[in-house]
Amino acid sequence: MWENIKDFASTFFVTGDPLIYGADVSIALTSIAIVFVLTYFKKWTWLWREWITTVDHKRIGIMYLIASLLMLFRGGVDALLMRTQLALPNMKFLQADHYNAVFTTHGTIMILFMAMPMMFALFNLVVPLQLGARDVAYPFLNSLSFWLFLMGAMLFNLSFVIGGSPDAGWLSYPPLSELSHSPGVGENFYIWGIQISGIGSLATGINFLVTILKMRAPGMKMMKMPLFSWSVLSSSIIIIFAFPILTVTLALLFLDRFLGAHFFTMDLGGNPMMYVNLIWMWGHPEVYIVVLPAFGIFSEVVATFSKKKIFGYNSMVFSMMLISIVSFFTWAHHFFTMGASANVNVFFAISTMVIGIPTGVKIFNWLFTMFRGRITITQPMLWTLGFIPCFAVGGATGVMLAVAPADYQYHNSYFLIAHFHQVLIGGVVFGYLAGIYYWWPKVFGFKLNDRLGKWAFWLWNIGFYVCFMPQYALGFMGMTRRLYTYGSDTGWDLGWAPLNLISTVGAFLMGLGFIFQVWQISYSIRKGERDLTGDPWGGRTLEWSIPSPAPMYNFAVEPQVTTDDAWWKVKEDRAKGIKPAPVKYEPIHMPKNSAIPFVMSVCWFIAGFGFVFDWMWMAIPGLIGVAICLLARSFSYDTDYYIPVDEIERTEAALRGRTV
């Protein structure tokens, strides 16, 4: 009996690596600390009522934000582990199999479990407020989306200490991801973690598409919407068409592994290249899914801190919608070397270059907006200014990669790694950080400390260039991706070692920048400048017309919109002495909290865990639990309520007393 338990534990838990044992201890201590704090301060009921069962888009956005920052830490630690291993030739810091697992989890976490939830956090925190809405179109579905994401992320991250992490690369190409090359459960964790969170991502895309089309304030025509909301609309369209491709692709891979199908094997009619085509039919639109909202953020920030209307509003809208279409016609540029015909390569080379045109249009629009503007260099504006040269270099190197004959040289080299980090960090991460700094006072009611924020900005930016500029040179010098070590002769004779060491220093500088941001948040919670106006930046859109943080119902009276930059127009009218219409409150219709999204997501987690280990005794009850939750929801009729006028009056009076 004891021997059976020992045998099971030795295969169930990951052992043999000090880093894994350290993670085990950290997880245990953190879990104990959380349970102790919640118990000691008697906060379990508060946690359940106010957060776990909430359908309030603002609280859901905050939970997305917290989760994304935790995932940024986890993915960043993976990056530092890799850079430490590659700092010098013949390093013994990580073994080959551990290195493969680390770079697999790094890519997956940063794209799907960091960038996506950070994007969804801003969707939730900002879009309904910009539209003058009181919630999203489907509050219940919004809660379910978050909990599905979180359960998928938890399932994926468990693989680090239970069962073993996936190690076939962040896109898990066959045959490396097939049973023949990955017989353990790591790939199953990959498949089910992404599948469960992907359902939530698809639901979020549907939710915000309907919210934008149907929940706008009276008078807000489509061409009067703020550009951030336009960017969310274009991103949501891509999500709706791209994520089903990912779902089907991973389902087919799981059938290969679980039932012995042969969709992506070389024998019995399968074809690994079909997987590569399918995964990139999702994967390249995914890049634009995460970068388009960043473009919307920069548009809001530049207009606000230049004290000017955005230059070329119509062209900005057109370019974003064009990107959402053309993004589906560029996927094959990821494998020009697969042996396709010249005509195929030419088509995808041209489409890749074409998509650079609407992207470049935005850069000029932002620059022209700043031209002769009264620019204020705030933290959001700093990140925007840092983005522009960084993304310009990323775009230029992208055009270089779009040239099919040249790509034969660049393909699979560190030049490519430098390019996509230039775009994804310089574009996506810088953009989302600009958005977080910009809307932080609206969400939490206080600004983040400026001095610590500038330290974080410069450490991030200097560290970025120190880290990734040498990698362009390493790519030209022949260093390929996925190397976990290189010989001393290769390192010193070819010049790899000095450049890798410099790159590692840059990575640690970015890590130090993240530490400053954690310090900045901690310090500002206690001593940050409080927002007593609701409009600390002199904003132009509707979210700045209400107190900070926004009340549960967002707007006591539904705003009437007559032009774009609706709040700026109201402020101009007030300056001219034009008085607003008298306020008349009416009962506000709001959705009730629900425990079903959380319970259903837990059931999905149980089912996914069962499928990972091929435990049908766990997977089937988990799926039955999902079905029961769906049935319970279909018979839920008491799902909403009205906030009475007297409660609205009391809330508004309290908010006015707090607001200067």
State how far the Cα of 618 lies from the Cα of 610, in Å rounded to an integer: 5
How many CB atoms neighbour CB 367 within 10 A?
Answer: 12
Structure tokens at 290: 């995460």
The amino acid at 627: A
Closest CA to 336 of 325, 324, 351: 351
Residue 19 has pLDDT above 80, yes or no: no
The whole-number average pLDDT for the span 526-552 is 93
CA distance 499 to 491: 9
Instruction: Supply the angle between the helices 186-214 and 116-131 in degrees, to the nearest 10.
Output: 10
Question: Six-digit token pair at 49?
Answer: 């009522």
CA–CA distance, 235 with 253 (Å, rounded to integer): 26
Whose CA is closest to 544, among 564, 571, 521?
Answer: 571
Amino acid 292: pLDDT:
96
Q: What helix, strand, coil percent values describe the chain, rounded to 5? A: 70, 0, 25
Position 20 confidence tier, pLDDT thresholds 50, 70, 90 = confident
Among 47, 53, 65, which Cα is nearest to 120's?
65
Q: Which residues, 6+ apart, have CB-to-CB distance to 438 below 8 Å?
A: 297, 300, 301, 304, 380, 537
How large a percentage of the chain has pLDDT more than 70?
99
Residue 361 in tokens: 């249009």
The confidence score (pLDDT) of residue 660 equals 43
Burial of 112: CB neighbours in 10 Å, binned 0-12, 13-18, 19+: buried
Q: Is residue 139 within 8 Å of residue 55, measured between CB atoms?
A: yes
Alpha carbon 113 to its chain centroid, in Å, reads 6
Confidence band for 657, pLDDT divided at 50, 70 and 90:
low
How far apart, in whole angstroms, are the C-alpha atoms of residue 426 and residue 387?
5
Confidence class of residue 410 from pLDDT cuts 50, 70 and 90? confident
Output the CA–CA distances (angstroms, integers) from residue 587 to 129, 434, 501, 555, 648, in the order listed: 19, 36, 63, 12, 8
Q: Grade residue 324 by pLDDT with cuts at 50, 70 and 90.
A: very high
Q: What is the mean pLDDT of the chain?
A: 93
Residues 6+ apart with CB under 8 A from 383: 301, 430, 431, 433, 434, 437, 457
Residues ≥6 apart with Cβ < 8 Å to 136 = 57, 124, 127, 128, 142, 207, 208, 211, 215
pLDDT digits (tens, 9 = 90+) for 232-269: 999 999 999 999 999 999 999 999 999 999 999 988 88
Residue 658 in this model has a pLDDT that exceeds 70: no
d(CA 61, CA 551): 15
pLDDT at residue 336, as a whole number: 87
Nearest residue to 567 via CA among 594, 539, 547, 596: 539
**Rounded to an integer, what distance in angstroms lies between the CA atom of residue 480 and that of residue 417?**
9
Greatest Cα pair distance, the chain, in angstroms, is 85
Cβ-contact 300, 125 below 8 angstroms? no
Residue with tokens 């044992």: 21
For residue 224, the 8-state DSSP code is: G
The H or E element containing residue 307 is none
3-class DSSP string for 83-114: HHHHCCCCCCCCCHHHHHHHHHHHHHHHHHHH
**Which range, of 44-48, 95-99, 200-204, averages the lowest pLDDT?**
95-99
Neighbours of 534 (CB within 10 A): 22
- pLDDT for the residue 269: 84
Structure tokens at 529: 């400048």
Query: 406 near 413, Cβ under 8 Å?
Result: no
- H helices, E strands: number in the chain: 24, 2
Give the Cβ contact number of residue 2 at 10 Å: 6
Whole-number percent of the chain with pLDDT over 90 = 80
Q: Check if the beta carbon of residue 297 is closer than 8 Å to that of residue 343.
A: no
- The pTM for the full model equals 0.96
Does residue 128 have a pLDDT over 80?
yes
Tokens of 630: 């769906």
Cα 109–chain centre separation: 9
Distance CA 419, CA 503 (A): 14
Torsion of CA 163, 164, 170, 173, to 10 degrees: -80
- Contact present, 114 and 68 (Cβ < 8 Å): yes
